[in-house]
Every structure is written in C-alpha cells, then in structure tokens.
Structure 1
Amino acid sequence: MPQNVPDFPTLLRSAHRTAVHLEMRDSYGVAGEAEEFEQWKRTGEVDLDPESEGWSGWVPLVRETIARGVVMRRARIVSEPVSEYIRYEHATTSVNLAAGEQVRWLPRRKALDVALPGADFWLFDDRLVRFNIFTGDGDWADPRFEITDNPAVVQLCSSAFESVWERGVPHEKYAV
C-alpha cells in the first residue's frame, strides 16, 4: 500500500483513461449531505443546478477530468424496493450526468453471482483502488479510506465493476 496517500482530487487528476466508482450501500449518513437530505425528505426539493455552490466542489472537478479525456462511470447496487436515501440519490444524479459522469443502477438481486469487494471503491486507470470506508450508520469511518495498488485487488475491483456495469440499467431508464 502506498505510504503517501493523495487526496481524492489529486487521485482523480492523476487518472489518464478511466475513473470508475462502485457504490453498494442502501444508505449513507455522511454529515456533508445531511441537511440537504433532510430538506429533500421534508419538501421533495433538491439542488439540481450544477453551477450552484452546493456542487462547486464536485462538478468542476468532474468536468476538468472529462475534458482531459477520462471516462468517468459510476455504478450503484441497490436493494429493491429502494431505500429513502437511494430515492434521494436518484433524484440528484442528473447533476452527475450533467457534469459528464455515466451512471447505472443494478438491483442487488441481479448481482448475487458477482464477486464483490467488501467496500465501495474508486478505481483509477485499472491500477489503483481507493476503498471508501463507512461506519454501520453510513458516516465516514476513521480512517475514511484505504488505498492499494495490489494487482489482485485491482483485478477484483475491475472485474466487479465491469460485471455490475454490464448488467446495470442506465440512469435514464431506472425508475425508483
């Protein structure tokens, strides 16, 4: 495992071809989105403006990455019927698409025979994996992530992502 762990923007900026993200939880409880999630639960309204302050940390980074020719794909494995959090996440995904990401959804029952790693991850250029580590309540654990370039782990994550992607439903066609 590399000793000097770069932050996420640095990792994404180091990608030359691909950056893929596999999400496998039915809910997340990270503090940074708690207020918006609560507002959505009360009102059904969510910030869908990619130019807004709320998306200023993500959208420009994705656009910069896409402009360099990097393909960004995100796949989500979800239980059905979907959780309230997944409905919220689905409602905000149009911003990911507007920024240039490709997103697919896979019902968990269609992933039963896929060998999956034990945590959500980002995979950069099929060479480096960043695992996102969460508590049981869905908040960030301490440490928040682990990173590895172990070829066997890279291969597991690449194979898992590609299997999920192949079976996944494009966002525009996935109804929650």
Structure 2
Amino acid sequence: MLLDGHEWQAYFSDFKRSAFRLEVHQTYTMPAEASTVRDFLAGAPRPADFNASWHRTIRDHAAAGRTMTRAKVVRRPLTPYSRYLFEWCIPGNVAAGEDYQVVDVTERPDHDLPEQDFWLFDESVVVHLNYRPDGTQINRELLQDPDLATYLGWRDLALESGVPFSAYRT
C-alpha cells in the first residue's frame, strides 16, 4: 500500500512509543529541499527558523516520552547532500531531541545493512522509502506483514555500529 499526504503524515503524529529511520542513500533529491540545498551549497547562512516545524514535532514527541531515532549510513568523502545534512539539518534535530546515529561504512563494505531506507514505527509498522539512483523519491510503501525480526535486527545492527552524531568526525 502506497502512502501519501495526510495518510503518510499521520504516522508521525500517531506513533505511540518509537519511530526509527534507517537512511542509506548518500544523496536525496527532494523538491521541498531544493532551494535550501542550493543555498547551503552557495555558502548562505542557515535561516534562523530552519526546519522549525519538524523540530517542534520532535520536541513534542520527546516531551511525551516517545523516541525518535535515526541511523544515517555514510561513506567518505561525504556527498554535498550529506554535508548539507550534517551542517544544516542534523544539529537542529539532535537539539530538539532526536537520537541521531552515524554509521560510517567507508572501510566496511560488508556491513550487513540493507540498501533500503525505511521507517519502523512502534516496532510493528514498516514503511519503505523507495528512491531512484539519483535520490529522487519514488514512493512510500507500507509493508503488509513484514518480517519484523529482520527490521528490528537491522535497526539494532545500525545502532550498534553507529556513533552519536555529536561524536562523529568527518
């Protein structure tokens, strides 16, 4: 089942305990980010209110005792998009309360993590985020009867292999 619009957004307001994201691509080409990525690459300063609504979402969940965790797989040298994430996006997410882990696989080509981005909500709902090779999102797919042990294992492996964003040095 493909998710879009309000139906997709509801997963971020309705989860009860936890939301985990595995990010494996090195570049994402998201139309909503095009102007801010362009500004970052041009050397512009980050706007003071950058990602404010997302940060409010993270803070609200943290205040209610719900966790938001992300594991970002990286390879050095970082792509321009990954540098944008590291300099403009992730610091605000972490300050708002998101647990952001970096999994550097530069020297570990056999890392046993999938090449598939996904969200895992409440350890029971899996949504694949499908992308073209250039990082353009194709769709978001709610999996019916996923093998939860596999996704929980990938989550645990990513978290065990990662380091907190604040400790990662590029």
**Are the aligned partners of 2:117 and 2:128 in contact in 1 as well (CA < 8 Å)?**
yes
Pick one of 67, 74, 79 that aligns with 1:78.
74
**Are the aligned partners of 2:2 and 2:141 in contact in 1 as well (CA < 8 Å)?**
no
Tell me the secondary structure at the aligned position of residue 22 of structure 2. Answer: strand
Q: TM-score, normalised on structure 2? A: 0.87
1:48-105 deviations in Å (ceiling 9; x for gaps): x4xx2x4243122222222221111110001112111111111121110121101011
Between 61-70 and 32-41, report the one with greater CA deviation: 61-70
Q: Which amino acid aligns with 1:17?
A: R
Partner of 2:140: 145
Tell me the secondary structure at the aligned position of residue 25 of structure 2. Answer: coil
Distance, in Å, in 2 between the alignment partners of 1:29 and 1:157 is 25
Partner of 2:42: 42
Unaligned regions of 5+ residues in structure 1, if any? none
Q: Does 1:166 align with 2:163?
A: no
**For residues 86 and 120 of structure 1, do their structure 2 counterparts lie closer, same or farther at Cα, with a shift above 3 Å needed?**
same
**Are the aligned partners of 2:70 and 2:100 in contact in 1 as well (CA < 8 Å)?**
yes
Q: Does 1:64 align with 2:60?
A: yes
Partner of 1:23: 23
Deviation at 1:137, TM superposition (A): 1.5
Q: Does 1:157 align with 2:151?
A: yes
Between 127-136 and 22-31, report the one with greater CA deviation: 127-136
Distance, in Å, in 2 between the alignment partners of 1:83 and 1:4 is 28
Q: TM-score, normalised on structure 1? A: 0.85
Partner of 1:94: 91
Q: Which amino acid aligns with 1:90?
A: F
Between 107-116 and 15-24, report the one with greater CA deviation: 107-116
Distance, in Å, in 2 between the alignment partners of 1:3 and 1:84 is 29
**For residues 150 and 4 of structure 1, do their structure 2 counterparts lie closer, same or farther at Cα, with a shift above 3 Å needed?**
farther
Q: Which amino acid aligns with 1:79?
A: R
**Are the aligned partners of 1:127 and 1:149 in contact in 2 as well (CA < 8 Å)?**
no
Partner of 2:112: 114
What root-mean-square deviation, in Å, do the aligned CA atoms of Structure 1 and Structure 2 show?
2.3
Q: Which amino acid aligns with 2:143?
A: T
